[in-house]
Structure 1
């Protein structure tokens, strides 16, 4: 393994971790809202949030490209603020966060659904504000499910290819992640590097899935 390979691996790990941290506040808010409230359009919002899970990743990447591009809804505003997104590391984080969000949301929602309502109600009767109930009761009791969502989201981000390619491009040393490097190595016929990177990606994914499985076992509350 060369120094460039090590930098590539660390870059991918860092981008994946940052992506799930970016997605976490949205996942917590929407997950709790879906688990605890009934409101018009709930099914539609949940369906839209889950779309990246079933859409071809290149389609998701194309939508992000149109959204953040110079002619898109957010592009001119970001450009006027001096923020460049497309074909930068920021685009990598956005693409990974969007693709990881559905798995994170599903785990978070399930975790909140398993929190006994009477514990939240008891905290409210003791004078706790809704925010205090959420941060001191709901989130701590749902922590294993939330952690599992973070791990699964991280694993999904780690393996993302299509959306990243569309919105960030394949720029070695700038936006190239492990899956993109494997693809580039395959195109170049560098089999030894391809298999080495494949082994690294597979090993990280295996550990992430094993950890997620451990976190989800015995999660239900009595």
Structure 2
């Protein structure tokens, strides 16, 4: 009887030990599962915040670029159709010049905005750097182009008001030189205008593609 009692005690202890071990293992596994679930939930929350912010930046950036493309189209049409041989009044000329200045200012505002975080969320640095280089060159040609417009307008007025024949020839020669320079600068400006617009369009397309790739179900 004593042996049976001892074995019963041993088996009872062993059973209790097994239960304790199983319970501990289940508890440990459960804690690990809970910890992993919390990590997954935290990661998912961060991913949602990141994706939301990425969408906001994409919408803001593409929206600004589309606006800028529209202004570049306007500027392209303006300079393509600008005929300096037409006799425009000073008031009309000033209005046209002011509109062009506004367009040019918008180019700088959009390109160098301090709240532009697109490079944080999108791999677009090469296209952005290319566009910045062209903007600097475009602005330089723009200033030269408008200076020539003003100079041609001044020479035209001087030619019409001048009575001395010899002086008129000098003015006419200067006018022709300025007009040739204007045509060369206009061609250069229009070329860069199209090049910059193409970069903006490519950048917008690039961002859309990267944004769509963010919706990965895996």
Give TM-score scaled by structure 2 length: 0.32
Give TM-score scaled by structure 1 length: 0.32
Computing the radius of gyration from Cα coordinates, the structure with the larger value is 2
